[in-house]
C-alpha cells in the first residue's frame, strides 16, 4: 500500500478544475487500496481560500 499526500496546488487543482487524467489517477490509486490525504497545513490553506 502506498500513501499519497497531496500538496496545496494539487489539491486545489483537483477540487476546482482537475484534468480527467488526474481524477483517473487518484481514483485508480484509491480503488487499489492506497491512501490519499492532505496535511493539516494544506487543509488550513484551502479552508482559508473558501
Rounded average pLDDT per 10-residue block, the chain, 50 residues:
90 84 90 94 82
- CA geometry: angle 23, 27, 12, nearest 5 deg: 40
Domain ranges of the chain: 3-49
Strands (DSSP E) contained in 1-50 are: 3-6, 35-38
What pLDDT does residue 23 have?
86
Q: Is the pTM of this model over 0.75?
A: no
For residue 16, the model assigns a pLDDT of 84
All three cell numbers of 46: 484551502
Amino acid at each position: 500500500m502506498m500513501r499519497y499526500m497531496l500538496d496545496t496546488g494539487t489539491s486545489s487543482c483537483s477540487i476546482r478544475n482537475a484534468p480527467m487524467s488526474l481524477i483517473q489517477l487518484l481514483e485508480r490509486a484509491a480503488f487499489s487500496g492506497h491512501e490519499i490525504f492532505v496535511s493539516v497545513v494544506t487543509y488550513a490553506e484551502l479552508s482559508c481560500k473558501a
